[in-house]
Each structure stands twice: as C-alpha cells, then as structure tokens.
Structure 1
Amino acid sequence: MTAPPTNLADRPAAPADSLHVPRAIAEPAVPERAALGLDGDSQSHDLLSALLRSVRLSGDRIVAYAPPRTFSIGFAGVGSLHFIEEGELALRIDGNPRVERVGRGDVVLLPRGDRHYVSDAGRAALATTGSDSADGDAFRPARWLCGTFTIGDPQASHLLGSLPAVIVLRGGGGPALEGLEVARRMLLIEMESPSQGSAVMVARILDLIFIQILRAWAAGSDAEPNWLAGASDPQIGAALSAIHRNPDHDWTVEELARACNLSRSAFAARFLARVGKPPATYLAHVRLDAATDLLRDTSLSVALVAKNVGYTSEAAFSRAFKNRYGTPPAHWRRDLRGH
C-alpha cells in the first residue's frame, strides 16, 4: 500500500451497547498489544474456526467411486474432497483451462465448491502411448473416495472465497499425509460397517480432514498469498487476529504496525505479501462479513448494524455494502428472508 489513508476505513462509531462483547481487562505496557490480544490469556484468534462458522461448512457424506474405464463425473455446489486410491485421474475446473493430473496417494480438496469434472487420465495416456490395455501393469482402473461438504452460506465470508479453487497434497508421506491416511481408514470403516451414529462420525471426520488439508497447504512453500498463510505468520497473524476480534475498532496502519513490532512500511509490505491484499481492503471485507451476520441473524436496523461493524454513517455503510454485494443492505436482508 503506497500511500494509505490515516484510517483504514470510515472512522467507526461506538458500537451499540446491546451487542458489545466485554473484553478482558488487563494492564499492558503497550496499549496496542491489549487491543491486539497479545497480552493476557488469549493469544490468537482462530481464523480457520471463524471460517467454518461463518460459512456454515460441515462434512456431509462419503462415496466410493470405481467407474468404467471411460468416464467423466461432474461435481457442483458442494465442497469436495477426493482420496485417490488407484489409477490416474484428470481434474478440470469450469472456466479454467488447466488440467490437474492426480494419482494414487494424492488428496484433492476443492474448498469453495467450484464446479469440476473428474475423468480417467490413465485411459488417455494409453491412447497416446499405444500401450496394450490388456497388460495389467499398463492400466489400472481408477478408484477413489469422494467426500462432500455442505456450504450453508457461501456468500457470508470472503475467507472462503479467497481460498484457491483446488488444493492438491501429493502422496509420498509426511505428517500431514499420515494423519489423512488414518482419517481415510476411519471413513472406510464407517462405510463398510455402518452402525448407529455413523452419519455423524463421517461428518466429523470430513470436518477434520478439511482442517488438516488447509493447515498443510498454508504451511507449504507454494501457498499463494492468502488470509490463512497470513494467519500462520507470527507477526501478520497477530494483526489479522486483531482485525477479526475487533473489526469495529478504528484501526490504522501505524497502530497495527507498532503492535507487531514492525515499521509502517515493513508492515504494509509484509501484510500485502502474506495476505494478498492491503490491510484497508482486508478490514473492509471483515466488517462487511460481520454485517451480513447481523443482517441475517438479528432484527437490528441498518443504522445499528453499520455502527456495530465500525462505520460512521449508514450512508457510508450502505455504499460499501452495495459495492460488495450488488444490493443495499436492507434489500439484501429482505431478499434473504423472502419478503
């Protein structure tokens, strides 16, 4: 951010008392550290848990696939997980010309629910090489497990939308893959010998797998700039925690930088490199996410919602909301409720 404004967004008004959550009382030496939650018992804000809550994402079901050699199966509207057990698959995402080839031992997650197609890559390879399909070593029929995730509110959070369309963890060991293999075996047990509570067991295991894959991806060297990669950074993670914990606060770049023990310019550059967007843009997204929660789950007026998420006026809030969601907040709430 080359020349950001003094304030990251419209100066916030005091939040309405009825929705103000009391914060821990402490006596920090540096005021910013208290606001960031760096003193006291609470050390960080769990952004991944916030994601799962805000989008109402939960494990749904698991299906075993072993189709004929020539196939193309489409998936849409749900988050999807693929454990490749045998063969080689080609994965294509709508609107993306890239074809992802995955094979035995690979784990694939499509967290946003992008429409995609899975087809048999091994068959195409045979046609190219002219190999004898009767040779058992030349061709192995594809077999994989597919888990799905229900996305209860895909518009509720920019956190889900900013995740990559597809995450692939390649087979070959490592702590993350070992843990996922244990989870895969547990899923197979529930599928092969279902009993009372199996549906809930499958859902919980899928939730755990989702979290573990995102953790492994964020810790990898090839993770693109993203809120989860930023949350893993010991300095930028503190700033993200602060923004999520108190989105109504009158945050400035200088305030966040001082609390993270960085200069203003170093903080702004590091934030952009880790998160992929400037602090002001990120704060605005978090505030509007919080606003959708209040509009959906409470009967507060639009003016009170604006105050609670940190806007000085209803007009400024309505402009920002319409720019983000394409409709004013009052219309968004009315359309959501069907009247």
Structure 2
Amino acid sequence: MTASPGNLADRPEASADLLSQLLRSVRLSGDRIVAYAPPRTFSIGFADTGSLHIIEEGELALRIDADLHVEYVSRGDVILLPRGDAHHISDVGTRADGVVRAGAVENDASGPEPRPEPEPARWLCGTFTIGDPQASHLLGSLPPVIILRGAGGPALEGLEVARRMIVFEMQSPTQGSAVMVARILDLIFIQIMRAWAAGTDVEPNWLAGAFDPQIGPALSAIHRDPGHDWTVEELARACNLSRSAFAARFAARVGQPPATYLAHVRLDAATDLLRDSSLPVTLIAKRVGYESEAAFSRAFKSRYGTAPAYWRRDVPGR
C-alpha cells in the first residue's frame, strides 16, 4: 500500500520556507485589482501600498518618487513594488508631475516624418495589504521595484494564466470573487519573487541566499530557531563548507555577514512575540537568543528607536 504523501505544510522543510516567512512576518496579502485605461496623456500616482502592474497594451514610464531613474515598460511586462514605495506611471511623454515633455506632442506637418500615434495604454494594477511594514527587515531589504520583461519563459507563462483568471473574475464577478482575486494576487506575488530570486543578475539578498543550495540551509536554520546560540562554524557545517568559504559566500549572496543577518532575524522574531503574545520582555529576550534583557533592549532600541515595552504599547492592533 502506498503511503500518503501528507500535507506539505506539515513537512519539516516547510517551516524553513523563507518566502513564506516574509509573507507571514509582514502580514502581506492580496487586496484588490483595478483595470486602467487612461487617456493618451496621463500621470497616475501610487503610494503606501504594495503594488503589482501587469501591462496589457501600450508603452508606459515608471518612476519611483524617491529616484530620478525612469523605467520604460510595455505589453507583457510585469512590475512588482513589494515595499509599497511611492511611484508614478505615466505615458512616455509626460513627467511624473503631469507636465508634458517638450516634443511629446505630435510632429508638425512640416516635419520630415510625423510620429505614429502611440498605442493606448492599458494595464491591471493589483494592490497588497502590508499589515506590518516596519517589523521585518525581510521586506525592507527587497529592491523597490522588480520587473519581469516580455511574455516568454515558464514564470511569465504561469503569470499569464493567473492574469486570465483575474480578468475572468473582474468581468464575471460572483460570490467569492473578492477572495479569489486576493488569493490570485498572493500567487502572483510569490511567482514574481521566485523568478526574480532565481535570476542570474539578482542583487545580494536574503531570498537570493535562500535559493543558493550552498547557503540556503544556513538561512533555514537561522529562521527555524533564531534563539539558538549560532556560531559561524556551526552554520558552515550545516552547509558542508569551511568557515571561511561559508562566510564569504554568505556575505556575497545575502549582502551581510551571518552575525548581522542573525541579529535582524532575532529582532524580527521579538517583534512578533511583542505584538502577538503577553510574554514579559525578559522571557522574550531569552527566547530570541539574548543573554540579558538589557542587551536585548539596547539592540531593539538601536533598530526601532524605542524600548521593547513602549514598542509593544504603541503597536497598532493591540
């Protein structure tokens, strides 16, 4: 008789799933989807929410408000802004502040070659609720924008299926459509993150480290038990690497030394306990690996600017 495969969520490796850790720790979930089909000249601002843009027609200009750099996107491109950075999307001839650039209007008839009329822009915008954007370094360490180009490749083929499902729910809403859309947005977020992290030119990041077979076991161990007294030697053994090789590869893939990453994860775990439990601060300090409440409070205040007890008092929802 064939044994039952069991529930994936009950398997040991599921607890070491760092992308799921991100979604849980920042309480990120799909919210809603809106279809945009603006006039030819437009500039639309988005802020304070995680955003997903699926370009269906036309060419658009994307600018993060805190950055002067402009990205041009077109049909088939998928854009994710996981941290909720404020940004504008406009037609290619309009600045983010709504001013039409010189030369963006149609050419005069006396010009050598009139510019063809641009294709009308059309795209889907999904938003994500970020329940706790400050409590986790995982979300904050992601890039402000992730762009998957074109319509090819397995990742975007899966996204196309998800897009069709969302369009169907938008065009034919019925009981449960809001939940369906929210769940599909969750799936799209995960798929984009997977495709980005598996890319060859990804920046050093915790998720890039999680996808590295030589470093992933160490990150899994840290997240599974942040309160353990981890040493570089012990983490290196978990990865079957020498101490020096492990430390160098960890810093190259994750972007920070193992001890620094461990300290961030411990404080993330502490904020979860402060928010979701009534445990005294002294016990929380021990659970997340600090030898004393004083050492824990110093580290916590250095990162959050306030003592653990005050952070707990002021956190929304308590």
State if a TM-score over 0.5 links the two structures.
yes
| Match of residue 253 from structure 2 | 274
> Could you tell me which of 105, 108, 132 is aligned with 1:153?
132
For 1:88 and 1:42, the matched residues in 2 are separated by 45
Task: Kindly report which structure 2 residues correspond to 1:306-317, keeping only aligned pairs within 5 A, or say none.
Answer: 306-317=285-296
Alignment correspondent of 1:173 = 152
Q: In structure 2, what is the equivalent of residue 234 of structure 1?
A: 213
Does the residue aligned with 1:250 lie in a helix, a strand or coil? coil
- 1:126–1:139 contact (8 Å) kept in structure 2: no
Aligned residue for 2:86? 115
Which of 288, 299, 304 is the aligned partner of 2:278? 299
Letter in 2 for 1:42: P
Correspondences of 1:44-193 after superposition (within 5 Å): 45-121=16-92, 127=103, 131=107, 138-193=117-172
Task: Give the distance between the partners of 2:203 and 2:29, measured in 1 at CA.
Answer: 25
Per the alignment, residue 30 of structure 1 pairs with: none
- State the AA in 2 paired with 1:46: D
AA matched with 1:250: D
Can you give the 5+ residue segments of structure 1 that lack an aligned partner in the other structure? 1-40
Per the alignment, do residues 132 and 304 of structure 1 end up closer, same or farther by CA in structure 2, a change over 3 Å counting? farther
CA-to-aligned-CA distance 1:123-152 (integer Å, 9 cap, x gap): 67993596589x895411111000000001
User: C-alpha separation between the residues in 2 aligned to 1:126 and 1:219?
Assistant: 40
TM-score, structure 2 as length reference: 0.89
CA contact (8 A) 1:126 1:132 kept: no
Structure 1, residues 239-273: CA drift from partner, whole Å, max 9, x if none? Answer: 00000001011101111112211111110000001
Distance in 2 (CA, whole Å) between partners of 1:216 and 1:338 is: 34
Shift in alpha-carbon separation, 1:180–1:338, aligned structure 2, 3 A? closer
Aligned 8 A contact 1:91 1:100 in 2: yes
Q: Percent identity?
A: 78
Give the secondary structure class of the aligned counterpart of 2:266: helix
1:331 paired residue number: 310
Corresponding position of 1:31: none
Equivalent position of 1:32 in the other structure:
none
Q: How far apart, in 2, do the equivalents of 1:257 and 1:172 lie? A: 40
Distance in structure 2 (CA, Å) of the matches to 1:65 and 1:172: 20
Distance 2:66 2:216 in 1: 33
Q: Given the superposition, is the C-alpha separation of residues 316 and 91 from structure 1 closer, same or farther in structure 2, using an over 3 Å criterion?
A: same
Structure with higher RCO (Cα < 8 A, 6+ apart): 1
Q: In the alignment, does 2:266 pair up with 1:287?
A: yes
Q: Whole-Å Cα distance in 1 between the matches of residues 13 and 202 of structure 2? A: 24
Secondary structure of the residue aligned to 1:171 is: coil
8 Å Cα contact 1:81-1:147 kept in structure 2: yes
Q: Is the deviation greater in 95-104 or in 115-124?
A: 115-124
Compared CA separation, residues 75 and 337, structure 1 to 2 (3 A):
closer
Q: How many residues align?
A: 299
1:197 counterpart residue number: 176
Q: Is contact 2:204-2:253 (8 Å) kept?
A: yes
Cα–Cα, structure 1 residues 260 and 321, in superposed 2: closer, same or farther, change >3 Å?
A: same
Answer yes or no: is the 8 Å Cα contact 2:107–2:115 preserved in 1. no
Aligned to 1:127, what secondary structure does the other structure show?
Answer: coil
One-letter code aligned to 1:102? V
Q: Within 2, Cα distance between the matches of 1:161 and 1:266?
A: 27
- Secondary structure at the aligned position of 2:76 is classed as coil
- CA–CA distance in 1 between the matches of 2:267 and 2:26? 14
Q: Tell me by how many angstroms 1:182 deviates.
A: 0.6
Q: Name the SS for the 1:168 alignment partner.
A: strand
Contact 2:50-2:127 within 8 A present in 1 as well: yes
Give SS of 2:12's match: coil
Q: Which consecutive unaligned segments of at least 5 residues does structure 2 have?
A: 1-10, 95-99
RMSD of aligned residue pairs (Cα, Å): 2.1
In the alignment, is the contact (CA less than 8 A) between 1:131 and 1:138 conserved in 2?
no
Taking structure 1 as the reference length, what is the TM-score of the superposition? 0.84
Question: Do the aligned partners of 2:40 and 2:120 also contact (CA within 8 Å) in 1?
Answer: yes
Q: Give the Cα separation in 1 of the matches to 2:206 and 2:105.
A: 43
Worse-matched range after superposition: 311-320 or 171-180: 171-180
Counterpart CA distance in 2 for 1:338 and 1:117 is 31
